[in-house]
Amino acid sequence: MSRPPQLKVTSSDHNGVSVIQSQSHASAGPALPPPPQQVPQPSSPPPGGKSASSSAAPGKMKKASADKDSDEYRQRRERNNLAVKKSRQRSKQKAMDTQQRVNQLKEENERLEAKIKLLSKELSVLKDLFLEHAHNLADNVQPPAGNPDASPAPNNQ
């Protein structure tokens, strides 16, 4: 029989929120009901008068639409527009470089295929010459001495 995990309440963290952790116990004792879960307690604002929500990152919070007219907003938009333009230009340049490389490789491939055809023809011609020469040599070889068609061998006495 398995026992449900026990919940352990630890001390409050830096925001005053109670942390609830689960722990498994392997004891064979009777199952005890888990202690009640505690709800996060509101904490007093930290010194300085700012609440936790106002200390969030500046890019995470939406500002009022009136801020769209500010110099800071226009500068950020201008920088972003330049970054986008630069990124698109790099992308176009990369595509052009890739296409140029493809064209170079196609030309090289065509040259190599033409060279293969030329070398194959040369090999064929050389094979034919070799076979013709080998056939001529075979025709010029004298037949063995027991052959009646053969002319008599010269006598060296």
Q: Are 20 and 38 in contact (CB under 8 A)?
A: yes
Amino acid identity for residue 146 in this structure: G
**Structure confidence by residue, pLDDT tens digits, 104-135:** 999 999 999 999 999 999 999 999 999 999 98
Grade residue 43 by pLDDT with cuts at 50, 70 and 90.
Answer: low
Cα distances (Å, whole numbers) of residue 16 to 12, 42, 44: 5, 7, 9
Name the more confident of 44 and 108. Answer: 108
Q: Are 49 and 76 in contact (CB under 8 A)?
A: no
Q: What is the pTM of this model?
A: 0.41
Question: Which token pair is 46?
Answer: 């930290």
Q: Are 9 and 35 in contact (CB under 8 A)?
A: yes
Question: Which token pair is 73?
Answer: 């907003």
Q: Are 46 and 16 in contact (CB under 8 A)?
A: no
3: Cβ contacts below 8 Å, ≥ 6 apart: 24, 25, 31
Grade residue 16 by pLDDT with cuts at 50, 70 and 90.
Answer: low
Give the Cα separation of 151 and 148 in Å (integer): 8
Q: Which of 1-10, 65-74, 96-105, 115-124 has the lowest mean pLDDT?
A: 1-10
Grade residue 37 by pLDDT with cuts at 50, 70 and 90.
Answer: low
- The residue extents of the domains of the chain are 69-140
